[in-house]
Amino acid sequence: MRNAMLAMVALGAFGLGCTSAMGQGSREGGRGGPGGRMGGGFDPTATRYINPGTLAALDGFTHAVRVGQMVYVSGEVALDSMGTLVGPGDLAAQARQAFANLEFVLDLAGVSPTDVVQLNVYVVGYKPADWATIRQAGAKFFPQRNPPAGTVLGVTALPREGLLIAVDAIGLVKATFRPLRD
Coil, strand or helix: which one is 141? helix
Average pLDDT over residues 93-100: 98
Tens of pLDDT, residues 55-65:
887 788 899 99
End-to-end CA distance of the chain: 41
Give me the pLDDT at residue 45, please.
77
Cα 103 from chain centre: 8
Coil, strand or helix: which one is 13? helix
Tens of pLDDT, residues 138-150:
999 999 999 999 9
Judge residue 100's burial from the number of C-beta atoms within 10 Å of its C-beta, 0-12 exposed, 13-18 middle, 19 or more buried: middle
* Type and span of the H or E element at 11: helix 2-11
